[in-house]
Amino acid sequence: MLADDRSDESDVRAATAPHQRDFPYDREEEAQVTRREFCNFLGLTSAALFVGAAGFAGKAAIDARQTPTFLPHQRLKARQRLAPGSSLNFHYPVDQ
């Protein structure tokens, strides 16, 4: 591989220098992430996901304890006219 004098890959600072006035940011802060910072981020993210999942599981467990209430059995008046394989639209009353 031949080194090209026009290539900016070898020195990022030289490549971004002309644009620093238009897009100012400090590259020093983003240059390195230590293992400790990465592990802290990973640990906090995992803990947050665990707490969220535990919340959903807790709510599901509480909801599972409650027995659903159904309205009393009602007969459809037009059931005699219902042919096999056909359908019938009806309104099921619900308490709001």
Question: Does residue 55 sit within a domain?
Answer: yes
Tell me what pLDDT residue 8 has: 46
The total domain count for the chain is 1
Helix H segments across the chain?
Answer: 12-16, 27-31, 35-65
Residues 40-84 have pLDDT tens digits of 999 999 999 999 999 999 999 998 898 877 777 777 777 777 788
pLDDT at 7 exceeding the cut of 60: no
Question: Does residue 6 sit within a domain?
Answer: no
Tell me what pLDDT residue 1 has: 47
Question: Does residue 90 sit within a domain?
Answer: no
Question: Does residue 39 sit within a domain?
Answer: yes
The encoded tokens of residue 12 equal 């990022």
Question: Does residue 75 sit within a domain?
Answer: no
Contact of 16 with 10, CB cutoff 8 Å: no
Q: What residues make up the domain containing 37?
A: 33-64
